[in-house]
Amino acid sequence: MSEYASHDKSGVSVGLVEKKHLTFATEPPGLVLESGASLSPVTIAYETLGRLNPERSNAVLILHALSGDSHVAGYYSTDDAKPGWWDNMVGPGKGIDTDKYFVICSNILGSCMGSTGPSSVNPGTGSPYGLDFPVVTIADMVRAQKALIDHLGIPKLLAVVGGSIGGMQVLEWCISYPEMVAAAIPLATTTRHSALAIAFNEVARQSIMADPNWRNGMYYDGRKPDLGLAVARMIGHITYLSDEAMRLKFGRRLQDRDAFSFNFNVDFQVENYLRYQGTKFVERFDANSFLYITKAADYFDLEERNGCCSAVDAFARTRAKFLVVSFTSDWLYPTYQSRAMVKAMKKNNLDVSFCEIEADWGHDAFLLPSERLTSLIRGFLERVASEAGVKSHAL
């Protein structure tokens, strides 16, 4: 057993995990996308935690947000400084208990963290795709995840869980594959972007494309558009916080000095924080992937696709039990959007639970440790599993 691993129910890490890869769609027509374009082959990076029970009925699929990846919890090695991005929620005895559930998390199509995306090699040219990579949608991401779930031999998911863009994928799963989802937990998300959300994404994209190193997306053999991507991340990060979060964390406190510098160096702590976030982001993320994923989020609209003309029509296709969660300080996807979603679900007589959690930390609140959120998710999963007669692998 790794030094990180334990079956102590106090909620320690799941321990050491391994990134895996599935390559599929190797033969024509490949993976046919919503745009009509196709990709071949397609590789999806994924990780699994816990064990699948003999009935293959205890699987929980976790879906990550824009900059996330398949590394949801645990550590790759004993030298890792940090665990996966949702280690506070996923593990033995935690809200999503790996002693009970077989947890799957995959990197989305179009990303740069192991799955096929614009930085991947185009087999037709031997060079990175760049802008030759076709535009993908949330539905395309879910279609690739469906191929992974089929590969793992799982006929039905006990639950799909995700926040933000991950929450969009949760909703898409419920509508595209209703027979495969018993329960769904969309967190801090929406059925479609507001004009404000689209506007912020467009400003972020323009900052990347205005960087002279972007070179129309073909920068992989030279300097990367690091400045443009850093500014894009700074813009995005502002939307993930809240006025109260910034007031509590920074206020107007100065950085390393007692007076203004009277130049354009960093004066305020909030300036330093945003620059740091931008710099760290360019070390791990691809600028083109940022463009593609934000565009997919902007295109997402459950109310006007596949013959639907309202959210009520869209949710008429679903069969899952829902736990919808919003946060009081989330102004990117405010609570009124979650309430509208819940109203549409209830008009279809769906089993829906809803909670707005008091939180100061804005949109990112779903990622931060929260006893309330942990308790809600744990209780909901236990109810769904009990009602479905699902046995954990531990039994």
Catalytic residues: 164, 330, 363
Residue 223 burial by CB count (10 A; 0-12/13-18/19+): exposed, middle or buried? exposed
Say if CB 103 and CB 48 are below 8 A apart. yes
Q: Quick count: other Cβ atoms within 10 Å of Cβ 317?
A: 14
Say if CB 145 and CB 116 are below 8 A apart. no
DSSP 80: -
Greatest CA separation found in the chain?
67
Tell me which amino acid residue 390 is. Answer: V
**In sequence order, which residues have a C-beta less than 8 Å from that of residue 259 and are 6 or more positions away?**
none
C-alpha 129/C-alpha 71 separation (Å) is 24
b/e burial code for range 361-372 (CB count within 10 A of at least 16 → b): bbbbbbbeebee
Say if CB 68 and CB 161 are below 8 A apart. no
By DSSP bridging, strand 59-63 and strand 159-163 are parallel
Quote the strand ranges of 278-357, DSSP E.
321-327, 352-357
C-alpha 189/C-alpha 326 separation (Å) is 8
By DSSP bridging, strand 42-49 and strand 96-97 are unpaired
The partner residues of 20 in beta bridges, in order of sequence, read: 46
